[in-house]
Every structure is written in structure tokens, then in C-alpha cells.
Amino acid sequence: MTTSIADTSFIVSLVNPRDPDHALVARTARTLRTTPWLPSSALAEICFVLSGRIGRSAATVFVDLAGQGSTSFALLEPNLADYRRTAEIMTKYGDSGLDFVDAVIVAVAERLNIGTILTLDHRHFGVVRPRHRGAFELLPAPE
């Protein structure tokens, strides 16, 4: 079974039925055979985006569900080595616009040998060449 790791864009679209990519993301989520990972460092970014797009109450509900384990992802704590690798990735891909959360996702994916990233952000993740494979599989694929 393929394990995946989720990006902010995927989670925000999944929990926001008014998002233009919601149907595509929801279809992708239904095809997953395993629960995707989500680094805990992405929670602040997800809440920021949800608050701006839907409202603060959406972010509050999201955090409450995450705290109960009632979500479609499993929280994962990056370790110290992941953060050191994150800094290397941010340095290497800094000109591409790859941000902190994106770099954490790459670092954790490398450590756990994860090849699939759930994201709408193909522009940033598409340029990354991870240590453990030639490129990431990015889902959902553009329609």
C-alpha cells in the first residue's frame, strides 16, 4: 500500500466544500488505501488559510477535530533531523517559492520513504528532487 503525506492546499480544499477544487480533492481522498500523514507543523498554516477563506470558526472546528483524531489524516511530529533537513531544502529551493511547511513535508517524506504528496501545489513540489527517489507523485493530478 502506498503511504502519502498531505499538504495544506489538499486539506483546506478537502474540508471546504466551496473550494473550487473540493470535488477533485474529495475524489482523490476516497481512493486512498491508507490514512495520509500530516506534519503537525502544517496545522498553523491550515488554520490561517481556513480562517481567511471560511472564517475563524472553521479553523476552530478543524483544530477540535484534529485534537480528537476525527480527521481524514494522521498527525505526525517532525523530529530534529527533519528540521535540519528542512533548512537544507529551504536553502536549496528558496528561489522556487517552496515554503517552510512544504520543506517539512519533503523532509518527512524522505525520512519515511513516502513517494506521494497530496497537494494542489504542483508548481512548488514539482521542482523538488527528493533524496529517496527521482520525483514525487503529486495527487490529485490536474484535470
Report the distance separating Cα 86 and Cα 81, nearest Å.
Answer: 8
Residue 80 belongs to domain with CATH number = 3.40.50.1010
Give percent above pLDDT 70 in the chain: 96
Question: At what angle are helices 43-53 and 8-15 packed, to 10 degrees?
Answer: 40
Q: Residue 125 sits in which domain range? A: 4-139
137: helix, strand or coil: strand
Note whether 100 and 121 are within 8 A (CB): no
The model's pTM is: 0.92
Lowest mean pLDDT among 2-6, 76-80, 126-130: 2-6
Q: Which residue has the higher pLDDT, 119 or 57?
A: 119
Through-space distance between the first and last CA atoms of the chain, rounded to whole angstroms: 24
The per-residue pLDDT for range 36-62, each reduced to its tens digit, is 999 999 999 999 999 999 999 888 888
pLDDT greater than 80 at residue 35: yes
Give how far Cα 32 sits from Cα of 84, 117, 127, Å.
30, 12, 24
**Total domain count for the chain?**
1
Q: Provide the pLDDT for residue 2.
A: 60
